[in-house]
Amino acid sequence: MLSKRLKICRKQKKLTQTELAEKVKTTKGTISNYENGHSTPSNEMLRDLADALDTTTDYLLGRVDNHSSVTKDASEFDQVFGDDDLQLAFRQARDFSEESQKQTIDFIKYLKEKEEREGRNPRKK
């Protein structure tokens, strides 16, 4: 089950084995072995794979059939960021490269600091 679902999720994310391996700091050969059922990832690696593929360990292990990683955090996110455009922007940012994600986070921090300096941050009041 794990090997099949790992491969399905990787392909849905349009990642090569090499790209996934880079995300979880392993080798293409290791990912290939997982997908072919020749070896099984450690618990830590399983968690890293689930995070990189935006799914859950339960899905990869076949415990649930829904591969989305909807969690308590996601529902809290939806409550805080009710604006549809803002939610869409954050969801799309998950597919950015690591460098682009870092730049996006840095830009958001910059905007927050700017609004606080100018006294325009309504959440701080």
- Read off the CATH number of the domain in which 38 is found: 1.10.260.40
Tokens of residue 116, six digits: 């606080």
The model's pTM is 0.55
Burial of 47 (0-12, 13-18, 19+ CB in 10 A): middle
Identify whether residues 93 and 56 lie together within a single domain: no
Q: Which domain holds residue 102?
A: 82-124
Tokens of residue 12, six digits: 């849905």
Tell me the pLDDT tens digit for each residue of 48-71: 999 999 888 988 998 887 666 544
Which portions of the chain are predicted below pLDDT 50? 70-73, 76, 124-125
Q: Is residue 7 part of a domain?
A: yes
Confidence at residue 121, expressed as pLDDT on a 0 to 100 scale = 59
